[in-house]
Chains A and B, each alone.
Chain A
Amino acid sequence: GEQVEQLPSILRVQERSSASINCTYENSASNYFPWYKQEPGENPKLIIDIRSNMERKQIQGLIVLLDKKAKRFSLHITDTQPADSAMYFCAASDTGYQNFYFGKGTSLTVIP
């Protein structure tokens, strides 16, 4: 199956700075890449996603970049706030969207 590597596992940033999380995948047929935010005790919430026909997508302070040649995608959170502190998971879905493979997660702490 697909392997999704996610780094860093722990990330601490100062409030109002940027935070970046990187993921790589193996299967070149993967074509959908969602990002989820999970707060303690809660279910994961979809925050942004990107499909393979795009290289960049932005929703407010969230930016996702996709480099299909390098099989790499990344999440950038600009102007971070303490409320952004949470676990973040990247995922990749294969053709047909039946299987989803998640990274191991990044624990983000935004320091006031």
Chain B
Amino acid sequence: AQTIHQWPVAEIKAVGSPLSLGCTIKGKSSPNLYWYWQATGGTLQQLFYSITVGQVESVVQLNLSASRPKDDQFILSTEKLLLSHSGFYLCAWSPTINQDTQYFGPGTRLLVL
């Protein structure tokens, strides 16, 4: 069975500080991977997607970047956090054969002060 992990679970960071969030999926080779952001009480906004190692497509620029250094790993980062970066960051995966169905990871809660 596939499992998806995100780290950290939660983080409190200062404005202007760097950020790195991680996502790992186990039990599935070559998945499509996605990053989403959700403001408190808001909808899900897709940020990035990746269909293979080393390839990342940006959907919405929020002064964030993403990388896929390994087949099972997706990283979201920024060098300088803004207050508006606060929210819930969700990683999702979908099988490459039946590419549509998405499953979300547990998420990382970020508070920027």
Q: Decide yes or no: A102 and B100 within 8 Å by CB, A43-B106, A97-B32, A97-B94 being known contacts.
A: no
Q: Complex formed: what's the CA distance from A32 to B94 in Å?
A: 13
Q: Does B78 contact A (CB under 8 A)?
A: no
Which of A43, A91, A98 contacts B57, CB < 8 Å? A98
**A102–chain B nearest beta-carbon distance, Å:** 4
A residues with CB within 8 A of B: 1, 32, 34, 36, 43-46, 49, 51, 89, 91, 93, 96-105
Name the interface size band of chain B: 20 to 34
Docked pose: A36 CA to B46 CA in angstroms: 15
Q: Which residue of B lies closest to A43 (CB)?
A: B104
User: CB-CB contacts of B18-39 with A at 8 A, as 1s and 0s?
Assistant: 0000000000000010100000
Tell me whether A98 and B90 are in contact (CB under 8 A): no
Q: Is B84 an interface residue (CB 8 A)?
A: no
Chain A residues within 8 Å of B45, by CB: 102
Nearest chain-A residue to B57 (Cβ)?
A98
Asked if A100 and B102 make an inter-chain contact with CB atoms under 8 angstroms apart, the answer reads: yes
